Amino acid sequence: MSRASRFLHACRREPVDCTPIWFMRQAGRYMPEYRAIREKYSLLDMIRTPALAAEVTLQPVQAFDVDAAILFADILPILGCLGLDLDFVPNRGPVLANPIRDRRDIPTSAVVPVGDVVGTTLDAVAMVKKELAGTVPLIGFSGAPFTLACYAIEGGSSKDYLRAKTFMYREPEAWHRLMAVLVDCVSEYLVGQAEQGADALQIFDSWAGCLGPQDYETFVLPYSARVVAAAKATGVPVIHFATDTAGMLPLMRRLNSDVVGVDWRTNLAEAWDILGHEVAVQGNLDPALLLADRETGQRGASRILDGVQGRPGHIFNLGHGIHKQTDPEIVRDLVQFVHEHSSKKGIP
């Protein structure tokens, strides 16, 4: 078995020779090769130029023995379908010039076609697939409707998303309309990525953990479940990842994704017990552990691997995106360590 197939087998909970590993945000600022390109282009240019997006997508696949590539892209451009203008402002992050502040700002359907908004990203998928030439599978992705709705209403990042949550509580009908539109856009985007050759699809709901379980169930779950269903209908495995959701794992399971991504704030084996073993899991090393030294990260990794005891259906990953301060040498060594440690444990 090679890294061409290990990840996809694990997504389907089939036995593998060793635990597959990839990193959220693996194409990023911790890599000197990435920074060399980033110095020359803006983030939006990199995202919207297929050749550049393809190049940085391939960098970690070439540098490390990771078992999957993940498309270099951002979750926010898709908000262009709602007529929202995105920019990345230095030292401030993403900013939407015209956020949703009123129920009347919400259209009943996309005002700009998905193809017009993220067509270059779909082109990048096709380009990466060709260049990968089957060495590793390619993961496409999208933000989940809730996280996108938060950005759309806040107009950018936020500490506690109070503006978005207040809107959700005060204007439930408008909220549900917004979520329905986002389901359509996100679903079409994900299906488009699968059509261009993405071998798996991950849905990121980075901010879902700012809600209590009851509100998640009422205002979010039905929409994310529709996105998962649309993505699964393409036939590729679907991963759902959210953070700060240790208190609502049973709700995560109800999304019906093939794989549940788990952040580092919970014991992975215990989380898997709660989720049930008829789903695969992905995670969940605290990315901060990689900032110390190689032994600290490897000690954490072996605890995770030993905890799940070689059960088929574990994809190793961090519990969140890799930090920009991470030493690439430690990343390289961790990949090797995870492969060796998990194969020694005699996984069939």
What residues make contact with a copy of itself under the rule CB under 8 A? 160, 162, 165-166, 169-170, 209, 211-215, 244-248, 264-267, 270-271, 284, 286, 288-289, 291-293, 296, 300, 303, 319, 323, 325
Dump the DSSP string for 279-313.
SEEEEEE-GGGGGT-HHHHHHHHHHHHHHHTT-SS
Radius of gyration from C-alpha coordinates of the chain: 19
Q: Is 151 a catalytic residue?
A: yes
Q: Which of 34, 48, 67, 74 is catalytic?
A: 74
Q: Is 212 exposed, middle or buried (0-12, 13-18, 19+ CB in 10 A)?
A: exposed
List 3, 13, 48, 151, catalytic entry = 151
Give the helix/strand (H/E) hosting 340.
helix 328-344
- Token pair in block for residue 202: 């991950």
Complex with a copy of itself: residue 125 or 331, whichever CB lies closer: 331
Is residue 38 flagged as an active site residue?
yes
DSSP summary character for residue 241: E
- Smallest gap from Cβ 291 to a copy of itself, in A, equals 5
Closer of 83 and 213 to a copy of itself (Cβ): 213
Closer to a copy of itself by CB, 22 or 175: give it. Answer: 175
Residues 267 and 167: their CA atoms lie apart, in Å, by 34
For 261-294, give one letter per residue: b (16+ CB within 10 A) or e: bbbbbbbbbebbeebeeebbbbbbbbbbbbeeeb
Choice between 6 and 165, CB closer to a copy of itself: 165
CA–CA separation, 275 and 280 (whole Å): 9
Residue among 140 and 300 whose Cβ is closer to a copy of itself:
300
**296/343 with CB nearer a copy of itself:** 296
Take residue 174 and report the two structure tokens written for it.
């408008």
CA distances from 10 to 62, 177, 237, 335, 346 (A): 22, 36, 10, 16, 15
In Å, how far from its chain's centre is CA 172? 27
Task: Work out how close the CB of 268 gets to a copy of itself at its nearest, in angstroms, rounded to a whole number.
Answer: 10
Give me the least distance between CB of 286 and a copy of itself, in Å please. 5
Among 17, 29, 253, 333, the one annotated catalytic = 29
| Catalytic site residue from 25, 216, 223, 226 | 25
> One of 17, 38, 244, 254 is an active-site residue; which one?
38
CB of 70 to a copy of itself, least distance (A): 21
For the CB of residue 263, give the shortest distance to a copy of itself in the complex, in Å: 8
- Shortest separation between residue 276's beta carbon and a copy of itself, angstroms: 16
29 is a catalytic site residue: yes
Active-site residues: which are they? Answer: 25, 29, 38, 74, 151
